């Protein structure tokens, strides 16, 4: 099974625009979650923890600029890239959006092709393994493009699930992932497996990482989940 598709939360109150974005993003291999108001956007951001958020400025209930501010103030969400969409093209509006925490700002009307390119740029920063990049942590090197892992220069033999698990941990060393977050990232949000399954695969990953010796780099955070380093 390949890494599950990066998930984009699209927050747009105009139905036609929302469906255009959904269709084009899904055509490009993204998973899509939809919201049509700021209140639902905040709830879905916390429930789904998407990889990216496309956020319209003008929204009912809670304005997009306030949604962005709250996301960036939330320790569990602040690292999610937010691309703000707005008909406001003045420099002052762009500056306000960026100062609120938006990672990028796109003025309507916009090119969907350009928006997807901007999303991929953000993914290269936050999910480099999904973009085929080479990751390293201490003496561990993971080549996502060639699907190879080595430690201290010696090749390691990992199963496909352990490879996806390691790539997730290596993208954010030190971050504590809950079991639910790892299940979602490694198996995908549409696959239903017992959360204890993650413990089995973490055990296999640790064994693989230590097959030539060396310390165990995968840390258990009691009552929460796992972290690398």
The confidence score (pLDDT) of residue 114 equals 93
Considering the chain, what percentage of its residues have pLDDT values greater than 70? 94
Q: For tokens 């954010």, what's the residue?
A: 172
Tell me: domain 132-228, CATH 1.10.10.10, correct? yes
The confidence score (pLDDT) of residue 191 equals 61
Strands 148-151 vs 154-156: parallel, antiparallel or unpaired = antiparallel
The confidence score (pLDDT) of residue 2 equals 41
Write the pLDDT tens digit of every residue in 72-82.
Answer: 999 888 889 99
Domains of the chain, by residue range, sit at 7-126, 132-228
Which residues in 139-172 are b (16+ Cβ under 10 Å) and which e? Answer: ebbbebeeeebebeeeebebeebbbbbbbbbbbe
pLDDT at 185 over 80: no
The contacts of residue 168 (CB under 8 Å, 6+ apart) are 129, 177, 182, 185, 186
Write the pLDDT tens digit of every residue in 84-117.
Answer: 999 887 888 888 889 999 999 999 999 999 999 9
Residues 7-126: name the CATH superfamily.
Response regulator (3.40.50.2300)
Q: Are 99 and 109 in contact (CB under 8 A)?
A: no
**pTM for the complete prediction?**
0.69
């Amino acid at each position: 099974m390949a890494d599950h598709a990066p998930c984009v939360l699209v927050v747009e109150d105009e139905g036609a625009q929302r469906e255009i974005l959904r269709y084009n993003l899904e055509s490009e291999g993204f998973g899509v979650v939809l919201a049509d108001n700021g209140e639902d956007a905040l709830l879905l951001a916390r429930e789904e923890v998407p990889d990216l958020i496309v956020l319209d400025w003008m929204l009912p209930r809670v304005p997009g600029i306030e949604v962005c501010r709250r996301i960036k103030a939330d320790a569990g969400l602040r690292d999610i890239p937010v691309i703000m969409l707005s008909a406001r093209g003045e420099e002052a509006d762009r500056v306000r959006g960026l100062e609120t925490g938006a990672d990028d700002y796109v003025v309507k009307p916009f090119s969907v092709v350009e928006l997807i390119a901007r999303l991929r740029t953000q993914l290269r920063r936050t999910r480099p393994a999904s973009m085929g990049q080479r990751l390293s942590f201490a003496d561990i090197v993971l080549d996502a493009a060639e699907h190879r892992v080595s430690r201290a220069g010696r090749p390691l033999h990992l199963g496909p699930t352990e490879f996806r698990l390691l790539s997730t941990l290596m993208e954010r060393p030190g971050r504590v992932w809950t079991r639910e977050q790892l299940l979602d990232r490694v198996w995908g949000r549409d696959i239903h497996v017992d959360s204890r399954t993650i413990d089995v695969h973490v055990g296999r990953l640790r064994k693989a990482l230590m097959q030539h010796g060396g310390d165990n780099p995968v840390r258990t955070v009691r009552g929460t989940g796992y972290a690398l380093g």
